[in-house]
Chains A and B, each alone.
Chain A
Amino acid sequence: MINLLLLPIILPFFFGIILLFFPKQIKVQRTLVTVGLIVSFISALILMAKVKSDGIQTVTLGSWPAPFGITMVSDMLSVLLVTTTIVITFFVVVYSFTGIDEEREKFYYYPAILFMITGVNGAFTTGDIFNMFVFFEVLLIASYVLIVLGGEKKQLRESIKYVLVNVISSALFVITIALLYSVVGTVNMADIALKITDIGQPGIITVIAVLFLLVFGIKGAIFPLYFWLPGSYAAPPMPVLTLFGALLTKVGVYAITRTYTLFFVHDTAMTHGLLSILAILTIIAGCIGALAYFDLKQIMIYNIVIAVGVILFGVAQMNDAGMSGAIFYLIHDMLIKGALFLLIGIIIAVTGTSNLRKMGGLMKTHAGLGWMYLIAAFGLAGIPPLSGFIGKMLIIQGAFEAGNVWGSIIMLVSSLIVLLSVIRIFIYAFWGEPVALPKTRRRSYRSLMMPAVVLVLISVAYGVGTEWLIPYMTDASDVLLNPSIYIDAVLKE
């Protein structure tokens, strides 16, 4: 029993509440949000060391015995995701100091970010399915604030759709939990896993599994359910889009991973077969979208969809290589999407447009931006030794071991399409004849570059330092592949 694992959830919440009191003092806001994220980051690192040395950490709130109270569980996967979340948020916040207008900063922009981080970290950490719904709502309500903040015409129009889709998927989430509760009579995730093992996954549980896939699929943007994503994500300003793109869909992906490795493991031919097919379709749909547009934002947004497909394809293999590949790729994708969104945010800020046809020749004026973008783009496509490579390689190895030859081939081809779609941005924006640029201050360009460059460097280090990260990844995938470790850790007390 140790409260350490609550700190990465509570600290952002605490700082968010304090920030609510001084909305107009931008200096105080910026200082406190930075301090809050650094403190949360340190607590997440301590937690990671603790999980590495002592195994899974659990807290059951209110000192109730395990299946009755709300349990918070921190295994290696969730602590890795929590740490990555805080890192990305930190850089987005630093970027926001110049990347977002002061009006938004004065209207609770930073508190909303901190509340969203509370929800994201909570959803990663919770060990109770209803509590996961609550944390989903926390992060969703904060994200409603962020997407509509500013009140531009386009933002309002797209927010309606975003809010409506999420309200409906939340209602579906409640319905699914109710159905699951009627079958197993518990909402504690470890206990649910035990009860499902006891009754041996009859048909009704498989139906519930598919319902969960629907619910989290809407949040995570898998194939038939990603329709809302491109329109809504393009509406808010760049730093918000970065946060959404790097973090929010990953919460859905995490939830699918958790439920499909902990609960629904007795009829994998049906459930994981379906997941595998949907993942492949998601990759294909994302590829089509990524090639179809000449808009920077849209191209990158469809790359989010592709990444979701790749990760879930790895999860669906249910073997060692596939699972650790999926975890590798999940964290890689959070880092590299954060970096890429920040970089194209700078391109948009410099050129004043997001239309590829209206840019050109940036290499002559902004060479540093060009090289950073190229490194990040190669990382996304998975060129060794950059970070995307090892994850994809492990996923494909896992898929071949599981006999999904066609899926792996489609995934390999998709890597080429990803490369093509991001290199197209490079060719159009950085090569060719220079286009007259609107006047921007060189100083603001530099302060925008700083967080993006550091994030790219972190992702490079993540790729080059694979060797040191392997023990952490195997720890994470071991828990996913052997649910009994998770169950024992929660119910032992």
Chain B
Amino acid sequence: MEFVMAIIIGILFMAAVYLILSRSLLRIILGTGLLSHGAHLLILTMGGLGGTSPPVLADGVTDYADPLPQALILTAIVISFGVTAFMLVLFYRTYGEHKTDNMSLMKGNDEHD
């Protein structure tokens, strides 16, 4: 199972890198979304996928899932949700001001203004 997950995470990262390196702002946002999905799945996998019953504290229970990765993922999802929402608004405003969504037209420094 970990093996399959590793491949899925790899595909997600691959797609994310491809999208982030493209020029369109919207694709870049999609790319960061995929990147954070990959990272979250990685936390889940790294915590170990073994353990089938819930982690209830009781004596003598040995087969239980690790609750910590799930708590970490929950936090990370909320953060990436907020940041993605912020990025959407920021990129939309930028599109409105610069009249372009092409990153290669947005390079430059003061001398280009």
* A interface residues, Cβ below 8 angstroms from B: 130, 133-134, 137, 141, 144, 148, 151, 153-154, 156-157, 159-160, 163-164, 167-168, 170-171, 174-175, 177-179, 181-182, 187, 231, 234, 295
Residues of A close to B32: CB separation below 8 A: 164, 167-168, 171
In residues 15-47 of chain B, which contact A (Cβ within 8 Å)? 20, 25, 28, 32, 35-36, 38-40, 42-43, 45-47
| In the complex, residue of chain A having the shortest beta-carbon distance to the beta carbon of B48 | A182
Taking a contact as CB atoms under 8 Å apart, the answer to whether B113 and A167 are in contact is: no
Given contacts A154-B110, A156-B98, A171-B39, contact A163 B90 (CB under 8 A): yes
B109 at the interface (CB under 8 A from A): yes
B68 at the interface (CB under 8 A from A): yes
In whole angstroms, what is the CA distance A181 to B45 when docked?
11
One of A130, A157, A182 near B94 (C-beta < 8 A): A157
Taking a contact as CB atoms under 8 Å apart, the answer to whether B83 and A164 are in contact is: no
| In the complex, residue of chain B having the shortest beta-carbon distance to the beta carbon of A144 | B86
B11 at the interface (CB under 8 A from A): no
In whole angstroms, what is the CA distance A187 to B71 when docked?
12
Given contacts A144-B86, A182-B46, contact A156 B97 (CB under 8 A): yes
In whole angstroms, what is the CA distance A153 to B98 when docked?
7
Given contacts A164-B20, A167-B32, A168-B20, contact A295 B90 (CB under 8 A): no
Given contacts A160-B91, A164-B28, A187-B72, contact A153 B42 (CB under 8 A): no
Q: Provide a sorted-by-A list of 22 A–B residue pairs whose CB atoms are within 8 angstroms.
A: A137-B79, A141-B82, A148-B90, A153-B113, A156-B93, A167-B32, A167-B35, A167-B83, A168-B20, A170-B79, A171-B35, A171-B38, A171-B39, A174-B36, A174-B43, A177-B43, A177-B72, A178-B45, A181-B46, A182-B47, A234-B109, A295-B110
Residues of B close to A177: CB separation below 8 A: 43, 72
In whole angstroms, what is the CA distance A476 to B45 when docked?
38
Residues of B close to A148: CB separation below 8 A: 90
Chain B interface main SS type:
helix
In whole angstroms, what is the CA distance A154 to B20 when docked?
21
Residues of A close to B65: CB separation below 8 A: none
| Per-position 1/0 for B100-113, Cβ under 8 A of A | 00010010111001
In whole angstroms, what is the CA distance A178 to B6 when docked?
13
In whole angstroms, what is the CA distance A295 to B43 when docked?
44
| In the complex, residue of chain B having the shortest beta-carbon distance to the beta carbon of A159 | B90
In whole angstroms, what is the CA distance A234 to B108 when docked?
12
Taking a contact as CB atoms under 8 Å apart, the answer to whether A141 and B43 are in contact is: no
Query: What is the minimal beta-carbon distance from A229 to any residue of chain B, in angstroms?
Result: 13
In whole angstroms, what is the CA distance A66 to B87 when docked?
37
Given contacts A144-B86, A174-B39, contact A187 B68 (CB under 8 A): yes
Most buried by B among A163, A171, A181: A171
Given contacts A148-B90, A156-B94, contact A171 B47 (CB under 8 A): no
What is the number of contacts between chain A and chain B, taking CB atoms within 8 Å? 93
Residues of A close to B79: CB separation below 8 A: 134, 137, 170
Most buried by B among A137, A164, A177: A164
Taking a contact as CB atoms under 8 Å apart, the answer to whether A157 and B40 are in contact is: no
In whole angstroms, what is the CA distance A415 to B30 when docked?
45
One of B35, B87, B110 near A163 (C-beta < 8 A): B87
Taking a contact as CB atoms under 8 Å apart, the answer to whether B113 and A137 are in contact is: no
One of A141, A163, A171, A181 near B69 (C-beta < 8 A): A181
Residues of A close to B75: CB separation below 8 A: 130, 134
Residues of B close to A179: CB separation below 8 A: 42, 46
In whole angstroms, what is the CA distance A174 to B40 when docked?
8
User: Could you list 15 further interchain pairs (A-B, Cβ under 8 angstroms) beyond the known A144-B86, A234-B109, A295-B110?
Assistant: A133-B76, A151-B93, A153-B97, A153-B113, A154-B113, A157-B94, A160-B25, A163-B86, A171-B35, A174-B39, A174-B40, A177-B43, A177-B72, A179-B42, A182-B47
| In the complex, residue of chain A having the shortest beta-carbon distance to the beta carbon of B91 | A160
Residues of B close to A137: CB separation below 8 A: 79, 83
Query: What is the minimal beta-carbon distance from A364 to any residue of chain B, in angstroms?
Result: 28
Query: What is the minimal beta-carbon distance from A84 to any residue of chain B, in angstroms?
Result: 27
Residues of A close to B106: CB separation below 8 A: 157, 160
In whole angstroms, what is the CA distance A160 to B25 when docked?
9
In whole angstroms, what is the CA distance A167 to B39 when docked?
12
| In the complex, residue of chain A having the shortest beta-carbon distance to the beta carbon of B17 | A168
In whole angstroms, what is the CA distance A162 to B75 when docked?
22
In residues 41-91 of chain B, which contact A (Cβ within 8 Å)? 42-43, 45-48, 68-69, 72, 75-76, 79, 82-83, 86-87, 90-91
Given contacts A160-B25, A181-B47, contact A167 B98 (CB under 8 A): no
Taking a contact as CB atoms under 8 Å apart, the answer to whether A181 and B43 are in contact is: yes
In whole angstroms, what is the CA distance A28 to B78 when docked?
32
Residues of B close to A130: CB separation below 8 A: 72, 75
| In the complex, residue of chain A having the shortest beta-carbon distance to the beta carbon of B66 | A185
